[in-house]
Structure 1
Amino acid sequence: MPLKDTSEVGALLRQAGIDAQTAEAVMDIDGLMQKWRRRALRRELGHRALVDLKIGIDLAQFDVLVAIEGPEPEFGEVGGETMVATVAERLNIDPSRASRLVSEMVEQGFARRGVSQADARRTIIELSDRGWAVVRAVRAYKFLIMGDFLGEWDTAELAAFVPMLKRFGSWMDGIDPATEKYAAEIEQLAAGLAQAPKAEVA
Structure 2
Amino acid sequence: MPLSTKTEINALLQRAGVTAETTAAVMDIDGMLQHWRRRAMKRELGNRALIDLKIDIDLAQLDVLSAIAGPAPEFGDSQGETMVGTVADRLAIDPSRASRLVSEMVDRGFARRAVSQADARRTIIELTAQGEAVVDAVRAYKYLILGDFLGTWSPEDIAAFVPLLKRFSRWTDGIDAVTDRHGPEIDQLVEAIAMAGKVPEEV
User: How does the TM-score come out when normalised to structure 2?
Assistant: 0.96
Describe how 1:147-158 pairs up with structure 2 within 5 A. Answer: 147-158=147-158
Describe how 1:6-155 pairs up with structure 2 within 5 A. Answer: 6-155=6-155
3-state SS, counterpart of residue 113 of structure 1: strand
Q: For residues 160 and 17 of structure 2, what CA distance do their matches in structure 1 show?
A: 27
Q: For residues 155 and 173 of structure 1, what CA distance do their matches in structure 2 show?
A: 29
Q: For residues 6 and 98 of structure 1, what CA distance do their matches in structure 2 show?
A: 44
Q: For residues 6 and 77 of structure 1, what CA distance do their matches in structure 2 show?
A: 42
Q: Which moved more, 1:188-197 or 1:62-71?
A: 188-197
What value does the CA root-mean-square deviation take over the aligned residues?
1.1
CA deviations on 1:53-100 (whole Å, 9 max, x unpaired) are 011000000000000011111111121100000000100111110000
Q: For residues 89 and 52 of structure 1, what CA distance do their matches in structure 2 show?
A: 29
What amino acid does structure 2 have at the position aligned with 1:130? Answer: Q
Gaps of 5+ in 2: none
Q: For residues 95 and 33 of structure 1, what CA distance do their matches in structure 2 show?
A: 30
What amino acid does structure 1 have at the position aligned with 2:88? Answer: A
Q: Please state how far the C-alpha of 1:6 moved relative to its aligned partner.
A: 2.1
Q: For residues 82 and 7 of structure 2, what CA distance do their matches in structure 1 show?
A: 50
3-state SS, counterpart of residue 126 of structure 1: strand
Gaps of 5+ in 1: none
3-state SS, counterpart of residue 172 of structure 1: coil
- What count of residue pairs does the alignment treat as equivalent? 200
4+ runs deviating over 4 angstroms: none
Asked if residue 176 in structure 1 is aligned to residue 200 in structure 2, the reply is no
Q: Please state how far the C-alpha of 1:191 moved relative to its aligned partner.
A: 1.0
Q: For residues 43 and 73 of structure 2, what CA distance do their matches in structure 1 show?
A: 19
What amino acid does structure 2 have at the position aligned with 1:88? Answer: A
Q: Please state how far the C-alpha of 1:8 moved relative to its aligned partner.
A: 1.5
Q: Please state how far the C-alpha of 1:180 moved relative to its aligned partner.
A: 0.4
Q: Please state how far the C-alpha of 1:42 moved relative to its aligned partner.
A: 0.2
CA deviations on 1:100-120 (whole Å, 9 max, x unpaired) are 000000011110100001110
